[in-house]
Amino acid sequence: TRAANPRHFLDLDGVAPVDLRSILESSKKRKQARNGKGQAVPDSDRPLDGRLLAMIFEKPSTRTRVSFDVAMRQLGGETLLLNGGDTQLGRGETIADTARVLSRYVDAIMIRTTDHEHLTELAEHATVPVINGLTNRSHPCQIMADVMTFEEHKGPIKGRRVAWVGDGNNVVTSWIQAAAQLEFELRIACPPELSPVPEALDWAKSKGASIIVTTDPFEAVKDADCVNTDTWVSMGDSVETAARRHNLLAPYQVDARLMAAAGKDAIFMHCLPAHRGEEMTVDVIDGPASVVFDEAENRLHAQKGVLAWCFQ
Ligand code: CP
Ligand code: NVA
């Protein structure tokens, strides 16, 4: 049952808007259908019955690891956890050969990797679906959960305004791609030294996306329905640059004053893990506008949509 063209979920610019929408709709339905059931109770629809997902982690994870595992079980499948360093990858076996070998054992592969090229190489050589569980460049599963969360709180995201304040990192790359695909406005405030990768911005703009990049957090949050931020030091950023990053990003801390300058009833989002007192103040992340734990929960539901789509 080896697909000639497996359906990968690598980045939001490579999945058609109609597919992103159908993933979001199926995620929403599955969440509603669970209606307070215990986590160990399987879903009534089990599209992944008998399927096995290998999860490769070259970096730490709490949410991605647990939510993929639980999602597979609830949909009838199972997972296999591979820590990058414990496999032959850690001794230099190629990604291509690893892809060919794993494709003979498992039905899909999720990878969290230090190097985006590991993801694309894996997808190129695997004959089973490959899913991006975060790279240095992007984090598409996170933004599927975030869009789902936005829509639960604020209604359809099309035409709405999302602000990003802080580091122009992997998470914002996926937000940029989502803005183009799902047609919402994105306003990014970041220090010029930590701007998002130009490729993502150029691609989104070529698609007609409405995106601005500014150095002024107040300009970015004006009339925004949602204010987003993320850690100032991502996994893989060198320890030596941490102090410099803190200095550059200090003016971009999301605090009550900045939230008050956003649109009426704006929500606060963060993919977690968070560093209270750094990228945002305690009153913001633990306050009434914060939906960060809904985002974390929705990783589970959104990834069910992604997993089921990969096998459709
Ligand atoms: N948001 C997120 O991906 O969290 P983990 O690093 O815990 O997986
Ligand atoms: N930007 C963060 C996201 C963690 C989920 C990182 O890459 O470490």
The reply to whether 29 and 175 lie within a common domain is no
Q: Which two tokens stand for residue 20?
A: 């992103």
Q: Are residues 212 and 257 in the same domain?
A: yes
Q: Does residue 229 have its Cβ closer than 6 Å to ligand 2?
A: no
The string of pLDDT tens digits covering residues 48-93 is 999 999 999 999 999 999 999 999 999 999 999 999 889 999 899 9
The pair phi, psi for residue 39, each rounded to 5°, is -65, -25
Q: What amino acid is encoded at 190 in this protein? A: C
Q: Is 271 in the pocket of ligand 2 (CB under 6 A)?
A: yes
pTM of the model: 0.97
pLDDT-derived band at 187 (thresholds 50, 70, 90) equals very high
CA of 232 to the centre of ligand 2 (A): 9
Q: What is the 3-state secondary structure (H, E, C) of 182-241?
A: HCCEEEEECCHHHCCCHHHHHHHHHCCCCEEEECCHHHHHECCCEEEECCCCCCCCCHHH
Q: For residue 299, indicate whether it is catalytic.
A: yes
The partner residues of 230 in beta bridges, in order of sequence, read none
Q: What's residue 84's pLDDT? A: 85
Quick one: DSSP state of residue 42?
P
Minimal CA–CA distance to 304: which of 99, 125, 80, 44? 44
**Does the active-site annotation cover 112?**
yes
- Same domain? 189 vs 66: no
pLDDT confidence band for 2 (50 / 70 / 90) = low
Tokens of 159: 């035409």
Same domain, yes or no, for 149 and 97? no
**Residues whose CB falls within 8 Å of the CB of residue 97, separated by 6 or more in sequence, listed in order:** 125
Q: Is 195 annotated for ligand binding?
A: no
What residues does 82 pair with on adjacent strands? 56
Residues comprising the chain, all counted: 312
What mean pLDDT do residues 2-18 have?
Answer: 90
What spacing in Å lies between the alpha carbon of 120 and ligand 1's midpoint? 20
What mean pLDDT value characterizes the chain? 97
Arithmetic mean of pLDDT, 117-142: 98
Average of per-residue pLDDT across 102-108: 98
Residue 305: CATH number of its domain: 3.40.50.1370
| pLDDT tens for each residue of 213-237 | 999 999 999 999 999 999 999 999 9
Mutate to test the pocket of ligand 2, among 231, 269, 272 (most ligand atoms within 8 A of CB): 231
* pLDDT reported for residue 1: 46
- Look at residue 3 and tell me if it is in a domain: no
Percent of the chain with pLDDT over 70: 99
**Run of H or E including 124:** helix 116-125
- Domain range enclosing 169: 142-296
Answer yes or no: do 153 and 116 share one domain.
no
Over residues 170-196, mean pLDDT? 98
Element (H, E) at 108: strand 108-112
Residue 140 Cα to ligand 2 midpoint, Å, equals: 12
Q: Are residues 90 and 154 in the same domain?
A: no
Contacts of 267 (CB under 8 A, 6+ apart): 150, 153, 154, 225, 226, 227, 289, 290, 291
How many Cα atoms within 13 Å fall on the side-chain side of residue 75?
30
Whether the per-residue pLDDT at 244 is higher than 60: the answer is yes
290-309 average pLDDT score = 98
Assess contact for 200 and 170: CB atoms under 8 A: no
Structural domain count of the chain: 2
Helices (H) and strands (E) in the chain, counts: 12, 9
Distances (CA, A) of 223 to 169, 220, 227: 23, 9, 10
Do 30 and 150 sit in the same domain of this protein? Answer: no
Phi-psi region of 310 (alpha: psi -120 to 50; beta: other; left: phi over 0): alpha
